[in-house]
Amino acid sequence: MEADYVVIGAGSGGTALAYRLAEAGKRVVIIEHGGSDAGPFIQMPGALSYPMNMGIYDWGFQSEPEPGLGGRVLATPRGKVIGGSSSINGMVYVRGHAGDYEHWAEQGAEGWNYADVLPYFKRQETWHGAQDGADADWRGQSGPLHVSRGPRKNPLFDAFVQAGQEAGYGYTADYNGERQEGFGPMEATIYKGRRWSVANAYLRPGQKAFGDRLAVVKALALRVVFEGKRAIGVEVEKAGQKQVIVARAEVIVAASSINTPKILMLSGVGPADHLRAHGIEVLADRPGVGGNLQDHLEVYFQYAAKEPITLYKYWNLWGKAWVGAQWLFTKTGLGASNQFEACGFIRSDKGVRYPDIQYHFLPLAVRYDGKASAEGHGFQVHVGPMRAASRGRISLRSGDAKDKPKILFNYMTEDQDWVDWRKTLRLTREIFEQPSMARHVAREIQPGSDVTSDAALDDFVREHAESAYHPCGTARMGRADDIHAVVDPDGRVIGVEGLRVADSSIFPRVTNGNLNGPSIMVGEKIADHILGRRLPAENVAPWFHPDWETSQR
């Protein structure tokens, strides 16, 4: 089997890229180890806690014991299914802040400033949020990815947004538009009541439109095959047999920030000493492969509710059956939303130029994996700092492609991260003390109103912080002469030929918010780099707080 382009991974970046290449007349093969995304657990937005905890859809990765979190091992879900992690994520859609992309460009990712990436965010989306008075000029109207807003019928959503304003933070009608900072409605990749993954947005429409120019092969990618220093294909294992899928033009690795560095290292691209230790011939000594690992940590601030207005009334067998049946037959009701319908982005201190704390509000007190609810009616906000100083690494456990990689995030190993977390927790508590939320609060369940000192707050984070499942940065984009960069601004792997990366691995630094949107943008934009074309940059002026140097809000 051969194609012009062979893409490893049918996830957010790889699928968007493959669609654009096939659209341009190229023949593309996507290699995906996972199976079908059919069925209600994936397609029903309200069931989001299920697929990321099901071995049939998830790679089942875990971190090494994390020294900064008391040696805890954290779950690290990644999608092993058509659509990749866009088929198992929380469906929250965040572009990131314009300041994130300014930083990328400063770090050597030339051509990735906000003015450069905004046209790709617009090209990828069809936006359904105009009813909230937001400016449509910042948004896309005809892309494959539908971006919508929940109905916000539960009164707690508006109460949370109102409390943010009472605390002195502004309102944002569209955090994905001109202004991210503030409180307002949250957006999701949900369309007509269904999860709008890249499988639904790009893959199936692409296969229908482009026929055999866009093919998916179910197989495990073992390594990239080289002739000299040029990538010529991918060795896969399919039904117990090894074979090579030949790439006439290029190979693109888009296997996630966990699997992409693993595949690069197994293929001879990575830190030379580490590769030799596992018996791998070194093609390109790139110490940055697997390094620069970043993520967002979060905790759940949970409160008991005074009134029975939360989703807890459906937290039983009959309630879940009713929600499921309504969705199954009509694609409406609570099952048609991820229930993250209100949010906030704030700055932790004066002198911070743009938001570094994110809030997802949920009208239920429950764990993300759905395994335990707090007692009775309650609600919670998921919160955490956006730009941790700590960095981790992905490394090989062995030279065997079937072995899971070693994942060490090194969470909370920099002093600044503890300072940021204390500010985050104190600012969060203050928001729930505002009149609009305080009238709904019976008491604080977690952390607990007695957890106030620095030491107590630190202990809470150490025991309860969890990954927000936003790993990135492990094949960092930068200048070709930067020893720690892995790919250049065209996504080409430095030191070899015919090989690119197109997923969240290439992020120089984690963006503000959830990573699905930026990962799709990377696929869209790298496709144009391959095709030798660019959308013209947009001359826009995103909103930064005019008093950011002297005021926290």
Give tens-digit pLDDT for 275-328.
999 999 999 999 999 999 999 999 999 999 999 999 999 999 999 999 999 999
Give tens-digit pLDDT for 148-189.
999 999 999 999 999 999 999 999 999 999 999 999 999 999
Write down the pLDDT at residue 549. 98
Joined together, the tokens standing for residue 405 give 């990689």
Q: Is the pLDDT of residue 372 over 70?
A: no
Q: If you average pLDDT over residues 223-245, what whole number do you get?
A: 97
Q: What is the signed CA dihedral for 437, 441, 447, 452, rounded to 10 degrees? A: 70
Q: If you average pLDDT over residues 493-514, what whole number do you get?
A: 98
Peptide bond into 447 cis (omega under 30): yes
Strands 241-253 and 2-8: parallel
Going by pLDDT thresholds of 50, 70 and 90, the confidence category of residue 366 is: confident
The percent of residues in the chain predicted with pLDDT above 90, rounded, is 96
Going by pLDDT thresholds of 50, 70 and 90, the confidence category of residue 133 is: confident
Q: Is the pLDDT of residue 368 over 70?
A: no
Active-site residue (options: 360, 440, 470, 545): 470
Going by pLDDT thresholds of 50, 70 and 90, the confidence category of residue 371 is: low
Q: If you average pLDDT over residues 521-526, what whole number do you get?
A: 98
Give 316's contacts (C-beta < 8 A, 6+ positions apart).
none
Annotated active-site residue 470? The verdict is: yes
CATH number of 1-133+195-294+472-537: 3.50.50.60
Write down the pLDDT at residue 438. 98
Plot region of 491 (φ>0 → left; ψ -120 to 50 → alpha; else → beta)? left
Give tens-digit pLDDT for 103-124.
999 999 999 999 999 999 999 9
Question: Taking all residues of the chain, what is their mean pLDDT, rounded to a whole number?
Answer: 97
What are the residue ranges spanned by the domains of the chain? 1-133+195-294+472-537, 151-185+297-385+413-464
Residue in the structure block whose two tokens are 């990575």: 270
Q: Is the pLDDT of residue 429 over 80?
A: yes
Write down the pLDDT at residue 370. 65
Write down the pLDDT at residue 369. 67
Write down the pLDDT at residue 230. 98
- If DSSP codes are grouped into helix, strand and coil, which group holds residue 430? helix
Query: Which one has a higher pLDDT value, 115 or 368?
Result: 115
CATH number of 151-185+297-385+413-464: 3.30.410.40
Q: If you average pLDDT over residues 361-372, what whole number do you get?
A: 80
Give tens-digit pLDDT for 41-93.
999 999 998 998 899 999 999 999 999 999 999 999 999 999 999 999 999 99
**151-185+297-385+413-464 matches 1-133+195-294+472-537 in CATH topology:** no
Give tens-digit pLDDT for 198-216.
999 999 999 999 999 999 9
Is the Cβ–Cβ distance between 421 and 429 less than 8 Å?
A: no
Q: Is the pLDDT of residue 263 over 70?
A: yes
Distances from the Cα of 90 to the Cαs of 24, 206, 369, 404, 498, in angstroms?
31, 24, 11, 24, 34
Please list the alpha-helical segments (H only) found in 28-77. Answer: 40-43
Residue 364 has φ and ψ, to the nearest 5°, of: -160, 140
Is the Cβ–Cβ distance between 398 and 52 less than 8 Å?
A: no
Strands 187-188 and 145-149: antiparallel
Q: What's the burial of 145, exposed, middle or buried (CB within 10 Å: 0-12/13-18/19+)?
A: buried
pTM for this model (two decimals)? 0.98
Q: Which of 311-315, 406-410, 500-504 has the lowest mean pLDDT?
A: 311-315
